[in-house]
Amino acid sequence: MRKLAAIVIAVVVAAIAAGPATAAKKPRVTVIGDSVQASFSFVPAATAKLGKGLDLHLNSLVCRRLVAPSCSYNGVTPLTALQVVKGSTGNQLGKVVVIHVGYNDDARVYDVNKVMKALRADGVQKVVWVTLHDPGGRYGGNNSKIRAAAKQWKGFSIADWNSLSAGKPWFRTDSIHPSPAGAIALAGLIRQKVLAAL
């Protein structure tokens, strides 16, 4: 009888320790980004806001490009977004993938469709693509390709950072990388789109 009671107590304690997370597993969301998205590493509140209730995987590195070979920074050349997608297996990327890459890319080689084909091949059906903040008109071609892809691909939604951030004082001196306030605003925008996709 004591043995049975000990087993019951152990099971109850294990269930309490496991908590509600086992009842409802958090959905995995992967964010693939360049240095603009990587700015979240300096703003923990932005990462916390975006990741609340999610199994969030941030894969954002300085100098990352979408498809063309990435540039190098401090001797490190990151994988392209396409290479990250192709290097994943099974459902490793999760239910939703966020792409926020393009500040190092020329519009002529910014191939959204190539990345979308790779995501579909990996089983990803929901993609949130972030437009590029474009105060000087440099990224208009990339943003046009994002908007065109949204009309072509089912399950493709746009987080329109360019529109939301226009004219806002949310940026560092380069007018591209977000300040802490900008990172919080960007996290809110991406989160809204991710939750809608889920």
Helix (H, G, I), strand (E, B) or coil at 28: strand
Which pLDDT value is given to residue 17? 45
pTM of the model: 0.87
Residue 11 binned pLDDT confidence (cut-offs 50, 70, 90): very low
Is the CB of residue 159 less than 8 Å from the CB of residue 189? yes
What gap in Å lies between CA 124 and CA 111, rounded to an integer? Answer: 18
pLDDT (mean) for 2-23 = 42
Which pLDDT value is given to residue 91? 83
Residue entry with tokens 């950072």: 161
pLDDT (mean) for 114-132 = 97
Tens of pLDDT, residue by residue over 38-56, are 999 999 999 999 999 999 9
Domains and CATH numbers, the chain: 25-197 (3.40.50.1110)
Which pLDDT value is given to residue 31? 98
Question: Is a pLDDT exceeding 50 seen at residue 16?
Answer: no
